[in-house]
Amino acid sequence: MVLLMIEELIALAIGIVAGLLGSMLGLGGGFVIVPMLTFIYGVDSIKYIIFVSLSSIILTSLMSTVRYYRLGLLREDLSAILSVPTISGALLGSLTIRILKPTMISIIFGIITLFALITLIFRKGSESLSISFNGYVSRFALGLIAVAAGFASNLLGIGGGLVYVPALIFIAGQPIKEAIAVSVSLMSYSAIIGVTNGYVNNLLMSSIASSTALGVAIGAYLGPSITSKLRSKTLKTIFIAIAMYLSLRMILKGLGLHVP
């Protein structure tokens, strides 16, 4: 019983860190939760961990959608248009995760995280780079990207913001805050399909998932007020260094190599 409580407290702490970093860096919780829990439970448990991450994404998505709505930043029409392709991608991701081996998922996650971290390092004022496509081409491209985001979300336990946000900025010409608002509102469509997949296949660790979700909610709520008092550049550097180590570790572990 005591050991179980310790597990849940660790999950709560990881959730708080994920929520804080997510609100500070604009990344979803998945990029923090999955590598950290994989570090604790091992690569073989990655499928369970993905469903823990998706559970917390539902909560983050709901709370952020309500917050962005209150701020008047939510574009509900874009959210409606992109919902169907997101669901299609999520379904494909749910079917794929069943057949892939945990080691393969670990390698894919590690590579995607490394890519995300590199874009985080080089991210600059992106609104000036906006490309204007004509109507049908841009809608088709956005639809394909939403399919990819839904797929990545359910396969890797991430929100998909890494895919949605640049697409909404570059293709739909949305300002960054509106793009983030649409992105978080779409996450719950794919996450609930993923969580159901975990639930019906008995892969949902509900005690860890609920603790992590509570932690993420607390972290995301306290994030803006705490991070404004901290030196965000230093924190960002520390986070990137740790996340790079964790993602490289996931790749090497996936390849069957011994890593400390």
Partner 1 sequence: MKFEYFIFILMTVLVLITSVLRDVGRNLFYFTLLTLSFMQILLIAALNIKRKRGSHGILTLFSLVLVMIIIIAMFIGVI
Tell me which residues touch partner 1 (CB under 8 A): 4-5, 8, 12, 55, 58-59, 61-63, 65-66, 69, 74, 76-77, 79-81, 83-84, 87, 91, 94-95, 185, 188-189, 191-193, 195-197, 199-200, 204, 206-207, 209-211, 213-214, 217-218, 221
Comparison of 130 and 206: residue with beta carbon closer to partner 1: 206
Q: How far is the CB of 217 from partner 1 (least distance, A)?
A: 6
Comparison of 123 and 177: residue with beta carbon closer to partner 1: 177
Comparison of 198 and 254: residue with beta carbon closer to partner 1: 198
What is the rounded distance in angstroms from the CA atom of residue 73 to the CA atom of residue 76? 9
Comparison of 75 and 249: residue with beta carbon closer to partner 1: 75
Comparison of 4 and 129: residue with beta carbon closer to partner 1: 4
Comparison of 68 and 170: residue with beta carbon closer to partner 1: 68
Q: How far is the CB of 27 from partner 1 (least distance, A)?
A: 20
- Exposure pattern of 48-73 as b/e (b: 16+ CB <10 Å)? bbbbbbbbbbbbbbbbbbeebeeeeb
Tokens 């030196």 correspond to what residue?
A: 231
What is the rounded distance in angstroms from the CA atom of residue 116 to the CA atom of residue 110? 10
Q: Find the angle CA(88)-CA(75)-CA(133) to the nearest 5 degrees.
A: 70
What is the rounded distance in angstroms from the CA atom of residue 158 to the CA atom of residue 155? 8
First-to-last C-alpha distance (Å) of the chain: 29
Q: How far is the CB of 52 from partner 1 (least distance, A)?
A: 11
Whether the Cβ atoms of residue 30 and residue 58 lie closer than 8 Å to each other: no
Q: How far is the CB of 136 from partner 1 (least distance, A)?
A: 17
Q: How far is the CB of 90 from partner 1 (least distance, A)?
A: 8
Q: How far is the CB of 86 from partner 1 (least distance, A)?
A: 8
